[in-house]
Amino acid sequence: MVQGLSLSTLTTSGNGGFYGSTSSWGRHFKLVNKTHIGIDRQCLWHQFVQCLHFKGNPNILRQRNLRVEAGWLFKGGGDQSLDASSERSESANEDVLIFFFQLDLATRVQCALNMEQYEIAQQLRNKLAEVGAEISRQKEVKRGSSSKSEAQDKAISIIRLRADLQNAIESENYALAAGLRDQISKLEADSLAASAKALALENAKYAFRLGQKVKHKFFGYQAVICGMDPVCCETSSWMEVAQVEKLPRGSNQPFYQVLVDVHADPNLLVAYVPEDNLLVADQPDKGRFDHPYLSFLFYGEDAAGDFIPIKQLREKYNKPRHEIPIDPQDEEPQ
């Protein structure tokens, strides 16, 4: 269960670094071990043996310096040929791990409260608030809310300019008034464009849902949706490698963070795929699917073979819980 996971699970494994190294996390958050708070990997809820005390810079996420040392995940990068590796995404992987980090902090707050370690709980709660605020800011920028804010800012500027215009007219400074009119006209056009963009992104329609099993049209691998954006939010260099401009809808279509079945491609794991390149099977797929991130993003599989996203993941993308339609043949006669 999600509540039974910890940051140590993410950064440590039997091979000494399956998901990455603790050095990267420790460098930014200065992990300090203490006793009697935290969660033992062998007995998650029954033995509390560690505490993570975070002394980080609240601008860490903004600076995008938080990097997972998982080079085996993203080997290469220089190959410009269009294959499955062209859609792998370090930022998508990082987004998933930061989400896990947020979950882990919330778990540690509850553990500290259970152990009556109120001072530590408050420190962790403060850090959780910092991380949550920065994630929310990045989410707004990433998903188009920045366009809404831009439109609002321009509207405020227009109101101020109109007041200045009225003063200029009253003082018979007609040259200044003419300049202010031009500024107002330009701002009104820009504000309208920003509002239209924000509305389009806010009302984006997605063909796929969180937890749904999908298949890549060209590369053939099976994957599970774990995140979505209304448009491509990757860098221009990434879009060039992935040849996004050659897609039927280009970058102005939904893009999905997907977990790739390790049996299909153990070196890919997390990809960022345009809607144009995905399809769903006609019949429910209940076959085997393995991925190291499944256990903290999903509760398990539903009756159709898709995965059930945890509540926090649904809230992150403001998506309702998917309910499987009832088959009339399965209903018992009255």
**Digit-coded pLDDT (tens) for 83-97:** 888 999 998 998 999
| Residue 210 in this model has a pLDDT that exceeds 90 | yes
Per-residue DSSP letter, 275: G
**Packed helices 118-142 and 145-170: angle between N→C axes, nearest 10 degrees:** 70
| Residue 47 in this model has a pLDDT that exceeds 50 | no
Q: Which pLDDT value is given to residue 153?
A: 78
Which of 69-73, 102-106, 121-125, 300-304 comes out lowest in average pLDDT?
69-73
Amino acid of residue 172 = E
- Tokens representing 29? 């958050």
- Could you tell me which of 78, 93, 79, 76 has the C-alpha nearest to residue 24? 93
| Residue 209 in this model has a pLDDT that exceeds 70 | yes
State the Cα–Cα distance between residues 311 and 303, nearest whole angstrom.
Answer: 18
Find where tokens 């398990």 sit. 300
| Residue 29 in this model has a pLDDT that exceeds 50 | no
Name the band, by pLDDT with cuts 50, 70 and 90, for residue 325. Answer: confident
Q: What is the DSSP string of 57-101?
A: -TTHHHHT------TTTT------S-SGGGGB-HHHHHHHHHHHH
Give whichever of 40-44, 159-163, 191-195, 271-275 has the largest mean pLDDT: 271-275
Q: The whole model's pTM is what?
A: 0.63
Amino acid of residue 169 = I
Helix and strand element counts for the chain (H, E): 10, 9
Q: Are 176 and 185 in contact (CB under 8 A)?
A: no
For 259-320, where are the alpha helices, taking DSSP H only? 294-297, 311-316
Q: What percent of the chain has pLDDT over 70?
A: 67
Q: Which pLDDT value is given to residue 134?
A: 79
Backbone dihedral angles phi then psi of residue 152, each to the nearest 5 degrees? -65, -40
| Residue 303 in this model has a pLDDT that exceeds 70 | yes
- Tokens representing 251? 């970058």
State the Cα–Cα distance between residues 231 and 197, nearest whole angstrom.
Answer: 11
Q: Which pLDDT value is given to residue 322?
A: 85
| Residue 105 in this model has a pLDDT that exceeds 80 | yes
**191-222 b/e (C-beta count within 10 Å ≥ 16 → b):** beebbebbeebeeeebebbbbbbbbbeebebb
* Residues in contact with 77: Cβ distance below 8 Å, sequence separation at least 6, in sequence order: none
* Residues in contact with 162: Cβ distance below 8 Å, sequence separation at least 6, in sequence order: 184
For 235-290, where are the alpha helices, taking DSSP H only? 236-241
* Side-chain-facing half-sphere of 122: CA atoms under 13 Å: 2
Q: Which pLDDT value is given to residue 141?
A: 61
18 three-class SS: coil
| Residue 69 in this model has a pLDDT that exceeds 80 | no
Mean pLDDT of 171-183: 91
E strand or H helix at 51, and its extent? strand 51-52
Q: Which pLDDT value is given to residue 238?
A: 93
Q: What percent of the chain has pLDDT over 90?
A: 37
Instruction: Indicate the average pLDDT of the chain.
Output: 74
Name the band, by pLDDT with cuts 50, 70 and 90, for residue 7. Answer: very low
Q: Are 69 and 20 in contact (CB under 8 A)?
A: yes
Name the band, by pLDDT with cuts 50, 70 and 90, for residue 330. Answer: low
| Residue 161 in this model has a pLDDT that exceeds 60 | yes
Q: Which pLDDT value is given to residue 311?
A: 94
| Residue 267 in this model has a pLDDT that exceeds 70 | yes
| Residue 205 in this model has a pLDDT that exceeds 70 | yes
Mean pLDDT of 130-140: 77
Mean pLDDT of 328-334: 54
Name the band, by pLDDT with cuts 50, 70 and 90, for residue 106. Answer: very high
Angle at alpha carbon of residue 92, lines to 98 and 310, rounded to 5°: 60
Which of 31-40, 170-179, 290-299 comes out lowest in average pLDDT?
31-40
The residue that leads in pLDDT, 200 or 61, is 200
Could you tell me whether strands 51-52 and 33-34 are parallel, antiparallel, or unpaired per DSSP bridges?
antiparallel
